[in-house]
Structure 1
């Protein structure tokens, strides 16, 4: 044995680390019928099935392509126990979670949701890096089954290009209070996204005040059953403010714009002695059909966040 092979550090054959006993075989992912030995760090090696990996994507096929400069049965050939093939860009924990998916059993066997989230996040990272569509689809579906704070969903949506998660997360945040977000929530979603949400909150506040003080216009052509439409028109602004506007402007528990439709559909909300029943029903129907501006604002900020996320790729 020469000096280089007797040293304690990793031994290299060209740019390949030679296994002189420094690597540990992974207990779960060392298959006797495995066709390739790989490593992702300087500690653990895996003996797995090459065909299962190369069929996943073109990228994986390229990563695992072994030069044809040695015979398949040559012990010095890369991808063997003596010279494990190095897969860059990942950690042993991430690779373990990836192999769990590849040789997968039921997620329920994992235990708590924290572990499931970790595994899915690792799977998303490697699925993007190695362009494995099936793995990404699986991870997204599994994460959809878990409760994740909206800030976390926005973080993952940005990191792994999941635009479908943006609008529901934005809606949840804007339905609450930005002041309730913790520092780690803001750091997770990013300051740029947070600033967009702040602007959206200001826009919603302006629209809420406008809607509270300026009611939807009374129908100009009343039903023939309305005998005093001028009276209906005169009481409508005050009725709107008393029953809707005050709730929108409540200092502690303000009603969201999206709650207007639900409230006007309640029979007693827009009732007034000087408002005819036919006009009341007309206005209830009219208000229930209005798409209040909060939906437009949510859509606007969601699209802006999605566009920003696209620049991160």
Structure 2
């Protein structure tokens, strides 16, 4: 409970509540556990891996993108600002499907992820499929198609009509993305120090 309350105002507030008449406080004993509605064991386990790293010299906990996503989900839910910032930092450079990264960025308001992820989508040789469109939303998909079509038209005279998928590989679409997606504008976030002996 100490690890949770040290990082979350939500849990800190729970500890500061007046004692019930029977003197039992949730989370202070096995007989009186805290009931966390809607929280999966998997998500909570990943959060504990970060808050309570193993005391093994030379061992560093390595989490996957989806394991960090579990940490981010609970940190966001329980107002763990330092843990949330730490999770975002650790997730930023992990290779993952750019469509998924856009979805996560929008859900958790991580604006600086969106432009690079959209750029990666546009640079792929394959076009958007139905699943991509459903996850990104029709408006986003149409904007991406429009950006690619603009590239095709702008380069038509120089490339003699090369297919847009071939033209787009390695091309930097960032300026066009910022024009079409105002949400990509970087926001200034407060920085928090996350204390963990494992990092």
Instruction: Provide TM-score, normalisation by structure 2.
Output: 0.73
Aligned position for 1:84: 33
When the two chains are superposed, the root-mean-square deviation of aligned CA atoms in Å is 3.1
Match of residue 204, structure 1, among 145, 151, 164? 151
Aligned position for 1:107: 61
Contact 2:119 2:177 in 1 (8 A): yes
Instruction: Tell me: CA distance 1:192–1:296, structure 2 relative to 1, closer, same or farther (3 Å).
Output: same
Contact 1:66 1:78 in 2 (8 A): no
SS in 2 for 1:97: helix
Which one has the bigger strand percentage?
1
Contact 1:124 1:136 in 2 (8 A): yes
Q: Deviations over 1:240-293 (max 9, x none)?
A: xxxxx1x3632487545986xxxxxxxxxxxxxxxxxxxxxxxxxxxxxxxx9x
Distance, in Å, in 2 between the alignment partners of 1:251 and 1:200 is 14
Name structure 1 gaps, 5 residues minimum: 1-49, 111-115, 213-244, 260-291, 308-313
Contact 1:151 1:186 in 2 (8 A): no
Distance, in Å, in 2 between the alignment partners of 1:183 and 1:200 is 18
What does 1:259-278 align with in structure 2 at a 5 Å threshold?
Answer: none
SS in 1 for 2:181: helix
- How many residue pairs get aligned? The number is 180
Match of residue 302, structure 1, among 163, 173, 181? 181
Instruction: Tell me: CA distance 1:138–1:174, structure 2 relative to 1, closer, same or farther (3 Å).
Output: same
Structure ID, larger Rg:
1
Question: Which one scores higher on RCO, CA 8 angstroms, separation ≥ 6?
Answer: 2
Contact 2:3 2:52 in 1 (8 A): no
Aligned position for 2:189: none
Q: Deviations over 1:87-130 (max 9, x none)?
A: 3341121111111110124233x6xxxxx222111111111111
SS in 1 for 2:177: helix
Aligned position for 1:17: none
Instruction: Provide TM-score, normalisation by structure 1.
Output: 0.49
Alpha-carbon deviation of 1:134? Answer: 1.9
Contact 2:26 2:34 in 1 (8 A): yes
Name structure 2 gaps, 5 residues minimum: 55-59, 187-199
Alpha-carbon deviation of 1:133? Answer: 2.0
